[in-house]
Amino acid sequence: MSILLILIPIAAAIAILCGAKAKPTALGAAALNLIPGLGCVFCWKHESWTFFWEVLSKPSIHLSLGFYDGMSVIMVLLSVIVLFTAVMSGKCPEGREKLWYSSILLIGAGALGAFLSTDLFFFYAFHELALIPTFLMIGILGSGERKEAAWKITIYLALGSIVLLAGLIWLVSASGSETWLFKDLLASSIDPGEQTGIAALLIVGFGVLISLFPFHSWAAPAYAAAPAPVAMLHAGVLKKFGLYGLFRLYPMVSSGMQDWLVWLIVLLLCNILWVGFVTINQKRLDTMLGNSSVMHMGYIFLAFAALIHAGSFEANPLAKPAAVVLMFAHGISIALLFMLTDTIRRKTGTVELAELGGLAKAAPRLAFLFGLAAMASIGLPGLANFSGEVLVFLSGFWGYEGGTLGCLQIATILALWGVVISAVYMLRAYRQTFQGPSVDHTNSEHVKDFGPFCQIPAAILAIALLVVGIYPNSLLNLLKEEPAAPAPTEQASH
């Protein structure tokens, strides 16, 4: 049944290309996708979700879909929500509906395919499927420096994908596994010597896709130039593909990753602190959000580093839940922020912070939701990101029994400063945009509060942030492994 989640958007995209009415078809497909997407939460373990078809006999590769574990469920959840809101909120330029809606649907289908695949090959291939429409949309329908940004993201991500593919082929070849199925791969073991090389390729390959420092410079210009739905889908959903992959494949290369731990910690600190300072310095709302999304990847890498440090999922039971909750929270919050920024751009014609001001008077609801998303992004308690970030920091100190601080603990302490940095740039941006005196093009004569077509998706995202923020167990329960050790308790939190 899980193939429906992929087929619905693809079929709708083809129908749109063949001449069906673009917006209703796309919206209908995305809404229809919400049903299995949200419904799976309750019954994802049921067998009817799996789909299995051998496409190639030697090497044995299957189009195998289903929910491998709770992490897949959460990512699918994230994908369907962001896909629906992206389709609904986006404002398509006149006459380009076909390209616009079919591309958005294809990106969504690719992301869903990647998270649903239980075969390493299709996991990789579906992600590529999602990238092509992303490149095209940025290049054709983007704004500002769209051509340069599109060319840059194309080259960066294509190179990253190739490095990744090299790593994956090596991984499978070294594992001696008969098939490319996750379950067979994860059951095999790899010689530690080879693991080091494979781990390096995986970190670089996935790292480019996740915008790990120093491979991050494609992200901010691309998100700034991209049409809002594409930025929402890429920053919110597609970028999580790399992290998902790292966590999924980690058990196969656990000792190899160990060799790169220090490097990884240095890079992730650069992500948080260096890119954090770069973000503070941004003069435009869209590039600021792009950089902030790069910066927040550092936290998730921190959870990954904690996992590497501990050596296995069991040794640090907090790391994976922390990363997954934060992936979900960041995906929702950044999607909401990009959506609202696009609304601001459409209403005032600019996203230069210096040219904005006093919008809260003219558009109070917009201001409220933007504030909510900004607070979430900073990590205010009660919102989803907080649960994720707290878990990440806790995972950094998991198993720490006093005494001298290890490099992971030092990194965690340094990373905490990232919260301050995010507060600085987010609050400043909020003040610049919504507070203070109104300028001519931001006063209530020109700007009206936003209409239902934007309110509904924004509300959906905001509710998701609140639900996970107030009751993180809604996600954490999905991550509980059946036979594994008891779930982490949240005692020593403060």
Q: Is 43 in the site for another protein (CB under 8 A)?
A: no
Among 173, 281, 312, 477, the residue binding another protein under the rule CB under 8 A is 173
CB of 351 to another protein, least distance (A): 23
The footprint of another protein on residues 390-449 (CB under 8 A) is none
CB nearer to another protein: pick between 166 and 427: 166
Q: Is 177 in the site for another protein (CB under 8 A)?
A: no
460: its two tokens:
């959906």
CB nearer to another protein: pick between 222 and 306: 222
> Which residue type, as a one-letter code, is found at position 471?
Y
Where b means 16+ CB within 10 Å and e means fewer, 274-302 reads bbbebbbebebbbbbbbbbbbbbbbbbbb
- Nearest C-alpha neighbor of 118 from the set 208, 25, 207, 244: 244
Q: Is 155 in the site for another protein (CB under 8 A)?
A: yes
- Nearest C-alpha neighbor of 245 from the set 297, 209, 193, 270: 209
Q: Is 97 in the site for another protein (CB under 8 A)?
A: no
Q: Is 18 in the site for another protein (CB under 8 A)?
A: no
The footprint of another protein on residues 59-88 (CB under 8 A) is 59, 63
Q: Is 169 in the site for another protein (CB under 8 A)?
A: yes
Q: Is 195 in the site for another protein (CB under 8 A)?
A: no
Q: Is the distance from CB of 342 to CB of 286 less than 8 angstroms?
A: no
Residue 420 φ/ψ, nearest 5 degrees = -65, -45
Among 118, 154, 175, 279, the residue binding another protein under the rule CB under 8 A is 154
CB of 349 to another protein, least distance (A): 24
Which positions ≥6 away from 126 have C-beta within 8 Å?
A: 6, 109, 110, 111, 112, 113, 114, 117
Among 124, 244, 304, 393, the residue binding another protein under the rule CB under 8 A is 124
Could you tell me which stretch among 36-44, 120-128, 182-190, 472-480 binds another protein (CB under 8 A)?
120-128
- Paired with 52 in beta bridges are 64
CB nearer to another protein: pick between 63 and 392: 63
CB nearer to another protein: pick between 37 and 139: 139
DSSP string, 258-322: HTTHHHHHHHHHIIIIIHHHHHHT--BHHHHHHHHHHHHHHHHHHHHHHHHHH-STTT-TTHHHH
- Nearest C-alpha neighbor of 433 from the set 277, 284, 222: 284
Mask: binding to another protein, 460-489, rule CB under 8 A, as x and -? ------------------------------
Where b means 16+ CB within 10 Å and e means fewer, 222-238 reads bbbbbbbbbbbbbbbbb
Q: Is 56 in the site for another protein (CB under 8 A)?
A: yes
Interface contacts to another protein, rule CB under 8 A: 54-59, 63, 124-126, 128-129, 132, 136, 139-140, 147, 150-151, 154-155, 158-159, 162-163, 165-166, 169-170, 173, 178
